[in-house]
Amino acid sequence: MAAFDEATAVAAHPDGSTFDVTLDAGWTIGEDRPNGGYLLALLGRAALAAGRSAGAEQAHVIAASVQYVTSPTVGTAVVETELLRRGRSVSQVRARLVQGEQVAVQASFTLGNLDPASAPWWGEVPPVSLPPEEHCLPLPLPPGAGDGPSFRQQIDERFDPDTIGFVDGRPSGTGELRCWFRFADGRDVDTLSLLFVVDALPPATFDIVATGWVPTLDLSVYVRAVPAPGPVRVRFRTGVIHDDLADEVCEVWDSRGRLVAQSTQLVGIRIPQG
């Protein structure tokens, strides 16, 4: 079983709507705090299972909105779901991750069916231009950072060298990161793991200004197509920084150049004074 599938496994209670989960130590962003996209994918898996158990016939998460309330720690937790609507073309499921008595993550999912063979009927977002994967670079870690956050061991991200000057204190100022993405163990990216991919890059604001932790306040993801096998391309862009808040847009294309996911998030950011 691939690492991603093992780490996002959910075990249903007899009610079909509550799930035991184990937040995996291999998917943390700092100390023992799981990565936000990993948590979202885990909730998405529970939402799909809850839908199936209630007779919903949708196979994919097509939209997810999530609010991170408190940062859970590695270890056991519970996912509570609620089927809001079972529809013919789409169903809606609310899910929350609870650890102890505390709601850690609150999310809403729209379930639908995507046709792997389909193409856009109108509109196109041309894939981000990237140097060939072999000319792109893994994210360098600052001295003393050891191996970095554990979730980085699970992925093979190769960045356009022009976008990672921030690591040496030379952000480009354009507010954009670009990379190739694969899972380290060769697992293909599917619709569920796209919920993780859109949150697997450093903050796009790092390409503008060095700050501390940039917490996500609200994140929405639309999954637009079933990715073809192979690496995906990711572009992560900053919109506007205003009043200690920034919006960031992420887009993902598959190996055939089709847009497979879009996300937008509002983050908190503390600009250093002076």
Interface residues with its own copies (CB under 8 A) are 62-65, 67, 69-70, 84-85, 89-90, 92, 94, 103, 106, 108, 110, 112, 114-115, 118-125, 175, 208-209, 217-218, 220, 222, 224-225, 238-247, 259, 262, 264, 266, 268, 271
- How far, in Å, CA of 15 to CA of 36, rounded? 27
Helix, strand or coil, per DSSP, at residue 178:
strand
For residue 162, the minimal CB distance to its own copies (Å) is 19
For residue 131, the minimal CB distance to its own copies (Å) is 25
Please, which residues have CB within 8 angstroms of residue 260's CB and are 6 or more apart in sequence?
189, 191, 194, 223, 224, 225, 226, 227, 232, 252, 253, 254
- How far, in Å, CA of 29 to CA of 65, rounded? 20
Q: 14 or 122: whose CB is closer to its own copies?
A: 122
Exposure pattern of 149-165 as b/e (b: 16+ CB <10 Å)? bbbbebbbbbbbeebbe
Best CA proximity match to 36, nearest among 80, 72, 63: 72
For residue 266, the minimal CB distance to its own copies (Å) is 5
Q: 76 or 118: whose CB is closer to its own copies?
A: 118
DSSP H or E stretch at residue 53: helix 36-53
Q: 66 or 136: whose CB is closer to its own copies?
A: 66
For residue 189, the minimal CB distance to its own copies (Å) is 17
For residue 143, the minimal CB distance to its own copies (Å) is 28
Q: 197 or 209: whose CB is closer to its own copies?
A: 209
For residue 228, the minimal CB distance to its own copies (Å) is 14
Q: 114 or 184: whose CB is closer to its own copies?
A: 114
DSSP string, 214-231: --EEEEEEEE-SPPPSS-
Q: 155 or 208: whose CB is closer to its own copies?
A: 208
Q: Which residue type sits at 49?
A: A
